[in-house]
Structure 1
Amino acid sequence: MKFEVKTLAAKNAGAIELDDAVFGIDEVRADLLQRVVKWQLAARQQGTHKTKGRSEIARTKKRFGKQKGGGTARHGARSAPQFVGGGKAHGPRVRSHAHDLTKKLRSLALCHALSSKAGSQSLIILDDAVLSAPKTKELRLSFAGLGLSNVLIIDGEAVNENFALAARNLPCVDVLPVQGLNVYDVLRRDTLVLTKSAVEKIHERFSAKEA
């Protein structure tokens, strides 16, 4: 499908052909997007939470109270979970929360995420994302002209240094090279901005997988 290309000054810069298999999926599957987002967030979860079990509590193991006649159970250690200061029963342990997800499913979910942005008119294609100087004020004015406030910007193999420096002072603005394109970051921002070089790399990426 044909898609309009704009400049940072919000002027027309021609059009570009987008692959329908990547940007033109009609029925976006929310279940795929949910699975991949869950996979991404699980992989970045630290998993350092921990509580002490009864074997790790430094308390006396001496039996307290009489064996019989006390009217209570015959406890042998104060480190049992039912006592204040005792160990935690079935508490969290240090572990990895990461789980596997097939490359085919992850790739398909990315196509659905890109298609959801294109279908909801939340996709903008820029001619390039280059600034002559790292001026945040200049970039803020450019974003205002394009109607951008909460945005993810994907450039080619390398992000222009001046553009990245100017953008990092703006809230709710993420700038990534095309290698960093992922489902979670696409969905967490209201608008997705791709440069022409990023679109070319995305097309190469998915055409290579089909071959």
Structure 2
Amino acid sequence: MKIAITGGKGSVEVSENNFGADFNEALVHQVVTAHRAGGRAGTKRQKNRSDARGGGAKPWRQKGTGRARVGTIRSPIWVGGGRAFAARPRDYTQKVNRKMYRAAMRSIVSELIRQDRMIVVDSIAVEQPKTKELVAKLQELKLDHVLIVVDDYDEKLCLAARNLPWVDVLDLREINPVSLIRYEKILATKAAVEKLEERLS
């Protein structure tokens, strides 16, 4: 299949398997959930009755007071006591097989193309790292909420986009399922699409 190049001549030839795949919602959901879970710090920790300071001595004798029996002042039912089911640091990462990840990426990219949300251009380079220069280029293409995907890191482009709240620049090593579905439009260079084709194959 061919994807037309916006604002230029010609098109880029891509595989139907990679850019024309059916949308697998369940798989995309699983991979996106796993990706977001992997970003969690998992460093939360609370004190249970054994961690709470003090409480070693029995507050009053077992029998004869008429009060309920108590062994420690740090019981979870007491004010100042430990937490009943205290949170512990944990690893939230979920395993995603490489095949599943690639299939999800193919599914997302194909759906973006079907919905006309992926725009391919020859180049999106800026001469100076100036925001107004990039804004002018994006206005020309009628884009505002956009992810720019380039084949390799471009410092000038990154600096030009840094101050725009709904514009981000990622190279192919950085793109992931979450970044692709987060933006209304994806603006990709021809070279980036060709490299993405290699990665998804």
Q: Same fold (TM over 0.5)?
A: yes
Letter paired with 1:200: E
C-alpha separation in 1, matches of 2:181 and 2:66: 61
Task: State the match for 2:84 in structure 1.
Answer: 89
Residue 138 of structure 2: which of 134, 139, 143 is its match?
143
Residue 29 of structure 2: which of 34, 48, 53 is its match?
34
SS in 1 for 2:78: coil
Identity of paired residues, percent?
A: 34
Task: State the match for 2:55 in structure 1.
Answer: 60
Task: State the match for 1:46 in structure 2.
Answer: 41
**2:159 aligned with 1:165:** yes
C-alpha separation in 2, matches of 1:167 and 1:144: 13
Q: CA deviation at 1:59?
A: 1.8
SS in 2 for 1:109: helix
Q: CA deviation at 1:69?
A: 3.8
What RMSD in Å do the two structures reach over aligned CA positions? 1.4
Name stretches of at least 5 consecutive residues in structure 1 with no aligned partner: none
Q: CA deviation at 1:68?
A: 2.2
Task: State the match for 2:9 in structure 1.
Answer: 13
Q: CA deviation at 1:199?
A: 1.1
Letter paired with 2:16: D
Q: CA deviation at 1:161?
A: 2.1
Q: CA deviation at 1:83?
A: 0.5
Q: Is the 8 A contact 1:152 1:175 kept in 2?
A: yes
**2:98 aligned with 1:106:** no
C-alpha separation in 2, matches of 1:40 and 1:175: 19
Task: State the match for 2:198 in structure 1.
Answer: 204
SS in 1 for 2:168: strand
Q: How many aligned positions are there?
A: 201
Name stretches of at least 5 consecutive residues in structure 2 with no aligned partner: none
Q: CA deviation at 1:150?
A: 1.1
Q: Is the 8 A contact 2:42 2:90 kept in 1?
A: yes
Q: Is the 8 A contact 1:126 1:193 kept in 2?
A: yes
- Shifted more, 67-76 versus 82-91: the winner is 67-76
C-alpha separation in 2, matches of 1:63 and 1:200: 72
Task: State the match for 2:3 in structure 1.
Answer: 3
C-alpha separation in 2, matches of 1:17 and 1:132: 28
C-alpha separation in 1, matches of 2:123 and 2:9: 10
More helix by share: 1
Question: CA offsets, 1:32-65, max 9 Å, x none?
Answer: 1111111111111001111001111112322223
Question: CA offsets, 1:115-166, max 9 Å, x none?
Answer: 111111101001012111112111111111212111111111x222221211
Letter paired with 1:105: M
Q: Is the 8 A contact 2:8 2:121 kept in 1?
A: no
